[in-house]
């Protein structure tokens, strides 16, 4: 049965009425009336604890949001995703990142073929290769052991590996150096290869399509760097370049031995691929056993998402809170603030995951939405952010819902550091929610002229997510939690979370402009006045007419 657009669903109207009647109640009022909400508005799954008591919701709000999820066809769409149906309709593809972490022996069928054995075949090949690099059996062209691994990729072929490398440093082989090249700005490649010995360097060219301009340009230049360093012997490429891609023909055309290619499939979206062969650099860093723990964490959250009742289901709850904040409270951005330095790149990773997935303005059927969809996702680790942009979070004119992330136990138990870190994350949620009234400020003896400046209006929503302790398993569960949150949000908004047509136009125009920047003769002014003038100026700067 066709699902009506968001605003036409009965629960949406009920939520709008509920918001009009009770949406003005502040967090102070909500807690005063219901102190038990601090214990009650929580949920737990796959080792992740969620406290959403400081969101501006009541039990009634949650009940209505759960009705909205039901009316959005969430159960059917979730079942369709897990069953391998082609729910990415604009590209005619299944969406099966969950198959990447399905245990051996599970069965997920696409086009009559069980894909789980293929997944494990690639994982086994990755593991054998990673072990050889780690134990030195895989030597470079001159026989030297590999000491540096450089991942060349962009978007989903970079952000996940970078984030995981940062997050899993305590489990990484310290004798190996890892670098990441993504930007077509040559600076990225120059700096990533600075100080490396070509004879000891392995490049992992990671590109789902193997056509992405930045990655192919960087890979070509990396090959030139390698050959320059190794006396120009083209046979060296085979020992120093491996590929991760869905396109064996293009990998071969680049000159990489298909035997050194690790594949994945069109049913893995780029931003959902860090646990596919795209994770090869991660596996080399932490070893196959830890990588499998990471996959087990993903799978544990998949199972939680698939089986937990909606009212206790972390991705469902988080998505419903997001829809409430965006579509009823008017939030235009959301901040993810990890109080764990190892998760420093997690917000950047989430930016692609969320915004490339749900930054859409038309529904699956191509009609325009009449409501907001994805907010802007951003964030930086705490406590650093506290000394930077938190001023706006506390006293700015915009309300920014926050996810605080923290670990109950530290990786490094040094002095009072962890207690201080935790004290800060707890205090920030409290300050955002309850603020400080003018009366409280005055009672502290603040001069009257300063009172308005020192008032915190509070009532700013946040959730707190706690991992027991950072580990490969915990990271997997955390990433899968956000993957499924994004899926549920997309389902409620009615958009296709799995295509990314919005990145195409810029790519097409860049090819045209590139030809014009590099042409010998001045190009005919084919653009608008501003673009033509910029091209003329940049051509002159390059010494052209
Ligand atoms: O820029 C869009 C995009 O297609 C992303 O979705 C993707 O993660 C990235 O480019 C890289 O693509 P590929 O892995 O094919 O090089």
- For 484-512, what is each residue's pLDDT tens digit? 999 999 999 999 999 999 999 999 999 99
Q: How far apart are CA 363 and CA 365, in angstroms?
A: 5
Q: Is the CB of 201 under 6 A from ligand 1?
A: no
Question: How confident is the model at residue 2, as a pLDDT?
Answer: 87
Residue 336: phi and psi, rounded to 5, are: -115, 120
Give the count of alpha carbons within 13 A of 12, CB side only. Answer: 16
* pLDDT of res. 544: 85
Gap between the Cα atoms of 153 and 478, Å rounded:
23
Residue 406, exposed/middle/buried by CB under 10 A (0-12, 13-18, 19+)?
buried
pLDDT for residue 238: 93
Please give the average per-residue pLDDT across 318-327, as a whole number. Answer: 98
Dihedral pair phi/psi, residue 172, rounded to 5°: -85, 150
Q: Which of 88, 90, 157, 351 to mutate to test the pocket of ligand 1 (most atoms within 8 A of CB)?
A: 157
The yes-or-no verdict on residue 277 having pLDDT over 90 is yes
201 Cα to the center of ligand 1, angstroms = 24
Instruction: Give the integer Cα–Cα distance in Å for 331 and 313.
Output: 23
Is the Cβ atom of 271 under 6 angstroms away from ligand 1? yes
Ligand 1 atom nearest the C-alpha of 278 is: 14
Kindly report, residue by residue over 149-161, the tens digit of the pLDDT: 999 999 999 999 9
Rounded to the nearest angstrom, the distance between the alpha carbon of 112 and the centre of ligand 1 is 28
* Residue 243 CA to its chain's centroid (Å): 22
CA 179 to ligand 1 center in whole angstroms: 19
Instruction: Give the C-alpha separation, 266 to 422, whole Å.
Output: 42
Q: What is the pLDDT of residue 287?
A: 98
Confidence check: pLDDT of 535 > 80: yes
pLDDT of residue 158: 98
- Distance CA(257)–CA(202), nearest Å, equals 14
Three-state SS annotation for 262-274: EECCCCCCHHHCC
d(Cα 496, Cα 158) in Å, to the nearest integer? Answer: 23
d(CA 236, CA 323): 53
| pLDDT confidence tier of residue 19, bands split at 50, 70 and 90 | very high
pLDDT, tens digit (0-9, with 9 covering 90-100), for 33-45: 999 999 999 999 9
Least confident of 1-5, 409-413, 440-444, 508-512: 1-5
- CA 181 to ligand 1 center in whole angstroms: 14
Identify the band that residue 545 occupies on the pLDDT scale cut at 50, 70 and 90.
Answer: confident
Q: Point out the ligand 1 atom lying closest to the alpha carbon of residue 159.
A: 8
Rounded to 10 deg, the angle between the 288-307 and 116-135 helix axes is: 150
Average pLDDT over residues 521-540: 94
pLDDT bucket at 1, cuts 50 / 70 / 90: low
| Ligand 1 atom nearest to CA at 157 | 14
Task: Provide, rounded to the nearest whole percent, the portion of the chain with pLDDT above 90.
Answer: 97
**Per-residue confidence (pLDDT) for residue 525, from 0 to 100:** 85
Q: For the whole model, what pTM was predicted?
A: 0.97
Identify the three-state secondary structure at position 154. Answer: coil
Decide if pLDDT at 538 tops 80: yes
Distances (CA, A) of 526 to 32, 413, 447: 64, 62, 63
What pLDDT does residue 441 have? 98
Q: How many CA atoms lie within 13 A of 511 on its CB side?
A: 7
156 lines ligand 1 (CB under 6 A): yes
- Which residues does the annotation mark as catalytic? 356, 387, 507
**Looking at beta carbons, which pairs linking 445-453 to residues 24 or more positions away fall under 8 Å?**
none
What is the rounded CA–CA span in Å between residue 201 and residue 250? 23
Instruction: State the average pLDDT for the chain.
Output: 97
- The pick from 265, 270, 280 for probing ligand 1's pocket by mutation, whose C-beta has the most ligand atoms within 8 angstroms, reads 270
Mutating to test ligand 1, I would choose from 97, 156, 266 the residue with most ligand atoms within 8 A of its C-beta, which is 156
pLDDT tens sequence across 60-112: 999 999 999 999 999 999 999 999 999 999 999 999 999 999 999 999 999 89
Q: State how far the alpha carbon of 266 is from the alpha carbons of 108, 293, 482, 491, 496, in Å.
A: 15, 25, 21, 21, 16
160 ligand 1 Cβ < 6 A: no
- The answer to whether the CB of 500 is under 6 A from ligand 1 is yes
What does the DSSP 8-state code read for residue 178?
A: E
Q: Is the distance from CB of 76 to CB of 83 less than 8 angstroms?
A: no
Look at residue 437 and give its three-state secondary structure: coil
Listed in sequence order, the DSSP H helices in 255-403 are: 280-286, 288-307, 314-327, 346-351, 357-358, 390-395
């Amino acid at each position: 049965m066709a699902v009506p657009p968001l605003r036409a669903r009965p629960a949406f109207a009920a939520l709008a009425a509920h918001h009009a009647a009770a949406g003005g109640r502040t967090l102070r009022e909500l807690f005063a009336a219901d102190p038990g909400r601090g214990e009650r508005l929580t949920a737990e799954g796959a080792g992740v604890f969620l406290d959403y008591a400081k969101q501006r919701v009541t039990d009634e709000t949650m009940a209505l949001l759960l009705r909205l999820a039901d009316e959005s066809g969430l159960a059917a769409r979730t079942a369709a995703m897990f069953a391998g149906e082609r729910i990415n309709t604009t590209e005619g593809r299944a969406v099966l990142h969950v198959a990447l972490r399905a245990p051996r022996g599970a069965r997920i069928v696409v086009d009559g073929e069980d894909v789980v054995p293929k997944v494990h075949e690639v994982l086994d090949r990755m593991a054998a290769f990673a072990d050889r690099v780690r134990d030195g059996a895989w030597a470079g062209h001159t026989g030297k052991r590999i000491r540096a691994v450089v991942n060349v990729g962009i978007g989903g072929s970079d952000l996940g590996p970078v984030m995981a490398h940062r997050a899993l440093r305590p489990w990484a082989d310290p004798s190996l150096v890892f670098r990441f090249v993504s930007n077509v700005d040559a600076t990225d490649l120059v700096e990533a290869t600075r100080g490396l010995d070509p004879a000891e360097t392995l490049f992992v060219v990671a590109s789902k399509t193997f056509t992405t301009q930045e990655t192919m340009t960087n890979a070509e230049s990396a090959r030139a760097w390698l050959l320059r360093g190794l006396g120009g012997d083209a046979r060296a490429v085979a020992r120093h370049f491996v590929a991760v891609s869905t396109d064996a023909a293009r990998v071969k055309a680049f000159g990489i031995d298909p035997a050194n290619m690790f594949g994945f499939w069109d049913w893995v979206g780029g931003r959902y691929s860090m646990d596919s062969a795209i994770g090869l650099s991660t596996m080399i860093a932490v070893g196959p056993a830890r990588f499998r723990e990471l996959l087990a964490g993903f799978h544990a959250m998949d199972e939680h998402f698939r089986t937990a009742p909606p009212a206790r289901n972390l991705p469902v709850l988080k998505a419903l809170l997001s829809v409430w904040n965006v579509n009823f409270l008017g939030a235009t951005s959301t901040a993810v603030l990890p109080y764990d330095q190892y998760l420093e790149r997690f917000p950047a990773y989430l930016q692609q995951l969320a915004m490339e997935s749900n930054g859409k303005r038309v529904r699956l059927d191509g009609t325009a939405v009449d409501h907001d969809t994805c907010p802007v996702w951003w964030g930086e680790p705490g406590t650093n952010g506290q000394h930077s942009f938190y001023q706006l979070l506390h006293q700015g004119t915009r309300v920014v819902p926050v996810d605080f992330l923290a670990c109950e136990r530290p990786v490094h138990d040094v002095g009072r550091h962890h207690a201080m870190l935790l004290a800060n994350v707890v205090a920030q949620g409290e300050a955002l929610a309850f603020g400080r009234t003018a009366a409280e400020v005055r009672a502290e003896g603040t001069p009257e002229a300063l009172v308005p400046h020192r008032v915190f209006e509070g009532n700013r929503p946040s959730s707190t997510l706690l991992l027991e302790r950072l580990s490969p398993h915990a990271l997997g569960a955390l990433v899968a939690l956000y993957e499924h949150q994004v899926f549920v949000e997309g389902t409620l908004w009615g958009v296709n979370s799995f295509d990314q047509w919005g990145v195409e136009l810029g790519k097409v125009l860049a090819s045209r402009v590139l030809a014009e920047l590099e042409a010998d003769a001045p190009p005919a002014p084919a653009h608008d006045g501003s673009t033509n003038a910029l091209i003329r100026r940049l051509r002159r700067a390059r010494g052209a007419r």
